[in-house]
Structure 1
Amino acid sequence: MTCKIIGCGGYLPKKIVSNLDLESFVDTTDEWIKSRTGILQRHLAASDEYTSHLAFKAAEHALQDANLLPTDIDLIIVCTTTPDNSFPSTATKVQGYFALKNTPSFDLQAVCSGFIYGLQIADSLVASGKYNTILLICAEKMSSLLDWSDRSTCVLFGDGAGAVVLQRKSASDNRSLVVSPGTEMNSGIIDSQIYSDGSYGDLLYTDGGVSSNGQSGKIKMKGPALFKNAVEKMTDSVIEILVKNNLTIDDISYFIPHQANIRIIQSIVERLNINENKVIKTIAKHANCSASSIPLALSELKSSEALNEGDIILFTAFGAGLTWGSALYTW
């Protein structure tokens, strides 16, 4: 494929709400949340802190990491299910914060699978020859969709944003890296696959919308069925993309799954038989940040300086829609 990641950034709101804090106003306990989700805390945005603000701060960090200026960006994509407004798009608001003119910008809505969808779309747009450098941002203010009287959903989500700068690979980036006998990989995005199935739309949704009742609504979830589908679809997606690219799970250096529930992650890890040391987990500190969870985790991994040239990263995500998918990347 065409792109490589040249910069990563993340942003989490300052306010941290622990499980113990939730006990004061939600009918729940710290032990109940930890045992069922693996979550210890979440970050919540202030009332005057919008999704576009989170997106902008993550984007600033990604540009700094890439050593680029905003004017170097050809296109902005914001993956979000919690836009500031029905319109204009959150992406154009971010463009405005950067004081850019004429830079095309748009929102993408694939809920928790936004980063995988965004990678594939950004790579395709660069492959078209029209763009060289794309700012891909995932930003969510999930707290705006929570019903704090519903303990089955309100404890699961947090706010945050993650961003990557994607750039067209040069000739030197297309060097082959030997992964295993008979298998060579180029640096950058190796492959991505995305899916959806609207027949499962009632498993996770909001009970509102612009054209239905004029309200954003609150999150509604059928937990057991959602859990089953999440494990099955992410596992199947991972196996499919590995087989397609002549790789095994042992070839993977790091596995970054969507951070929705520690039990979902553990179930996938067991099915794939992947080394636990390769699995990146941020669920305890971040909760479920929807589309932002994977780029936030990637940003933390890069900041830890644990990534080495040639490392293969496997991403997988699953969200309402239902949407899901996986991607492979060589660092």
Structure 2
Amino acid sequence: MESFKCGHEDAIRDVEYDYYGKRVATCSSDHQIKIYEKDENGSWIKVQEIKHHSASVQRVAWSRPEFGPILASSSTDLFVQIYVETDKGPNERVWKLKAKLVDSVCAVTDIAFAPLAQGLRLATCSRDGFVRVYEAMDVMNLSSWSLVEQFRADEKDCHCIDWNESPFDPYQIVVGTRNSAKIWEYSNDYKRWQSVCLLDGHTEDIYDVVWAPKMGRKYHLIATGCKDGIVRIFKISSKGEFTVNLVAELNQHQSPVWRVSWNVTGTILASSGSDGTVRLWKADSEDNWRQIMVAGSGSALQKESERNRKSLLSD
């Protein structure tokens, strides 16, 4: 397990690796984004601080490498911002703000770049209940992004989103809201997004949702992390009508679960919670999900987790 000091002055909201795992972006309630690169010795070196938001930065997201080095951020200041790495001089590069997406009337809670097959697209969700999809029509002019689609996923609030990465399915997004998650699908016939599937069983707010890479499976896996302290894993089949099965409810965190993340093959799930631990889960030969590792004792991190929780609730 790697660790390094970020130097943020308030709660860290998100940490994201780029596609190759050689860069890390962090964002915080201190309104800042920090970018780190791994040097030849394996140490993480801060290469830039970005201070363009005027409120807490909620999420950061890297684009696919095919489009070049692009970073997006979302904030409670209502803005989504797009940054691009450019040449500043010989052997020197800098991240510059290229675009601001300003359509939300409430805090933007999550962002996610679309699968490669869709081009350079970015989905956002916010506390006004809307999911919005933007597209860079000209990848050589990243100062221009168009709002191409939007739909209301909830009457009050949207917390988190993720794309279905499979190129063999229609465009699909899973959206986590107050106490439910839904799969939305783009209909080419009606030219709009439609709710096609409910992931039921949550009792409180969903803080994170992540769609597993399919990797040859005949079904999909989606995981959620929830305020009620439970990690849930759903199995979805979509031959004709959608069939949803809740295959795991994992309650070892015993505290709110803030983030969940799949490995590249969709076989191992990581979760982090207010108990100060990161836990890894894997299905056994009988498809029962078991905890295979715990990082962090919880005790040393509990105070920081509680401080982060209070900061999150205050925004």
Please say whether Structure 1 and Structure 2 have the same fold, judged by a TM-score greater than 0.5.
no
Q: Which has the higher strand share?
A: 2
Which gives a bigger RCO, structure 1 or 2 (Cα 8 Å, sep 6+)? Answer: 1
**TM-score in terms of structure 2 length:** 0.30
**TM-score in terms of structure 1 length:** 0.29
Q: Which has the higher helix share?
A: 1
